[in-house]
Amino acid sequence: MTSDEENGGSSNPTGFGMNFNDFVRPGIDDRPDLNEALSPEQKQNIERLAEPIPEAQPAQPETMRNPDVQNVRMSAESSAPAVVLADVPEAQALNLDSALNDMRNPMADASGHVPSKTEIVRLGIGFTINAVICAIPWVALNSVILPRVLNQISPGNYATLLGTINSVGAVVALLANIIFGTLSDLTRSSRGKRFWWIISGGFIAGINVGLIGLTRSFGLIVFLWAMAQLGYNIMLAPFVATMSDRVPDKVRGTVSGFYGAGIAVGQTLGNYIGARLIKLGNSGIFAGWMMGYAVFCIIGVVTVAIWPADKSNLDQPRDKFSMKMILKSFTPPLHAPDFYFALIGRTVMMGGYWMINSYQLYICQYYIYAGVPKAKSKAADVIAVMAVITLVVSLIAAVTAGPITDKIHMRKLPVALASCLFALGAAMPLFFRSPVGMYLFASIAGLGYGIYNAIDQALNVAVLPNPEEAGKDLGILNLANTLSQVIGSLFTSAVLTIVARWIMHQSSGYSVQAYASVFVVSIVLVLIAAVLIMQIKKVK
């Protein structure tokens, strides 16, 4: 006879053959002792990553721990869980592959290597110098010199030509970002997977930019500009992916800040230099194309020389080449809403930026100085002063914003606020149709853009669903840089045409009201971008 039978079954009052004294509550009584299960290193990492522990709830009565009482409550409330679960929102699944969710050393890069302080400084310098040196000729050519060349080719239809050439080039750049970002992920060499793409892309961009300076054929300019965009993005996609590969999480915001500062400074200097070159006439325009040729041919080599040498990845495993592998490599991330909010948000934000920046020469000449003698010369002077103002405020914003966001552990909110600041600056020329309005735009919008550039790349890295596919995914995120140029050019061209031709019934040229409408649409786009960025869930 068992002990239960001797006791009259008193320990099993339900009579169902279960001993509730031995009842184990799943997930409660069978949890391992973490003090014994975890290593000292894992305990340190948990302490580093842990959120503040909420205040303890009042202790439950001892009767609540009695198995018999629990059984009665579970039976009485058996229908409750279905009701409760129906009201619980679906939680976003944790991606265990994400470098941001593991327990690695925050000073380790994606491969597990912990770079020295000197290596981190060299990485930061390389990103900053590349950003500055590339942005100077790119912006000078795209925003000032190319518009002046198109104005010479077709004085009455320059806006449409600029929209066409930017759209074609941006489509090429869009495809290049995805294709060559993915191919760099798959590359195996003794110098790492990004090295040769960065160097060769610079050469391709430089050669085609130099050839544009030798022609005034619009068709040939479109082709060469598209090829320059191809080369530039062959270099850019692997270059940006290197930040995910080699910059540790802990300092990524700071490095991103200096990279953003480099972009802001380079773009500002590009506008200034471009404005000065066009005042020299055709000789200055030719010098601008040759500047681009020289810079792009050498910048890839300079960048990889500054960076610490990347280690060989010849032993890194890779699936065999097949159609299935290729299709998988080019498949965009699935079930990653934050990734797409970041992509669309940046695309729309930069679309609003390029609406004004790509047409600023025309805006100054035909909006600020409409009907004023020597408008061309005065417009170039205004752009030069705007460049100086933007240089100062963008540099201050970019250098300080990155370290500050590293300290407060926030990315999303500062990016959204920076977009709103840019929108405020874009409203200034509507209230002051004078050089003062453009200078206020340069100072307020330049500050917002500097903050945005400093933080947004770190935000992009934070929303990557799989760090091992950083080249492909960042290539997709970099589509914002090219798609935004398409959006900016097409929207500006469309707004000018609709207002001038359909509303104002002008047969040629574009009215002051048409250019004012450009600022309005730009403001709307930028504010939409701020709303989209705030929809990101897993980043503060």
- Two tokens at 537? 């869930």
Per-position DSSP letters for 196-241, written without gaps between them = HHHHHHHHHHHHHHHHHTT---HHHHHHHHHHHHHHHHHHHHHHHH
Q: How many helices (H) and strands (E) does the chain have?
A: 21, 0
The confidence band for 475, taking pLDDT boundaries of 50, 70 and 90, is: low
Tokens describing residue 346: 């940046």
β strands within 329-480, DSSP E:
none
Tokens 């000449």 correspond to 365
Question: What integer pLDDT is reported at residue 461 of this predicted model?
Answer: 73
Residue 23 predicted with pLDDT over 80: no
Phi-psi label, residue 187: left if phi above 0, alpha if psi -120 to 50, beta otherwise: beta
Residues 219, 267 share a domain: yes
> Which residues neighbour 499 within 8 Å (Cβ) at sequence distance 6 or greater?
510, 511, 513, 514, 517
Are 411 and 353 in a shared domain? Answer: yes
Does residue 10 register a pLDDT over 70? Answer: no
The domain that contains 235 carries what CATH number? 1.20.1250.20
pLDDT in tens, 490-529: 888 888 888 877 776 666 667 788 888 999 999 999 999 9
Residue 292 has pLDDT above 70, yes or no: yes
User: Which of these ranges, 104-118, 136-150, 219-233, has the smallest mean pLDDT?
Assistant: 104-118
279 located within any domain: yes
Question: Does residue 396 lie within any of the structural domains?
Answer: yes
State the total domains in the chain.
2
| Range 223-231 average pLDDT | 93
Taking the whole predicted model, whether its pTM rises above 0.85 is answered as no
For CA atoms 293, 294, 295, 299, give the dihedral sign.
positive
- Kindly report each contact of residues 315-320 with a partner whose C-beta sits within 8 Å and lies 24 or more positions away, as own/partner: 316/188, 318/186, 318/188
Q: What mean pLDDT is reported for the chain?
A: 78
pLDDT band at 70 (very low <50, low <70, confident <90, very high): very low
Q: 489 near 142, Cβ under 8 Å?
A: no
Do 293 and 413 belong to one domain?
no
Contact 131, 267 (CB under 8 A): no
- pLDDT tens-digit series, residues 356-388: 988 888 888 888 888 788 888 888 889 889 988
321 and 205 inside one domain: yes
Same domain for 402 and 291:
no
User: Per-residue pLDDT for 132 more than 50?
Assistant: yes
Let me know whether 419 and 391 are in one domain.
yes
Q: Which candidate, 153, 463, 490, places its Cα nearest to that of 339? A: 463
Is residue 260 domain-shared with residue 340, that is, in the same domain? no
**Distance, CA of 257 to CA of 106 (rounded, Å):** 18
Same domain, 310 and 179: yes
- The token pair at 394 is 């963008």
Residue 521 is assigned to a structural domain of this protein = yes
Confidence of residue 485 (pLDDT cuts 50, 70, 90): confident
Return the H-helix or E-strand segment holding 406.
helix 375-408
Range of the domain at 176: 61-327
Q: Is residue 5 part of a domain?
A: no
Mean pLDDT, range 285-294, rounded to an integer: 95
Instruction: Find which of 76-90, 291-305, 492-506 is predicted with most confidence, using mean pLDDT.
Output: 291-305
351 within some domain: yes
**Least confident span in 227-231, 250-254, 486-490:** 250-254
286 and 354 housed in the same domain: no
CA dihedral 475, 481, 484, 489 (to 10 degrees): -130
Q: Are 282 and 360 within one domain?
A: no
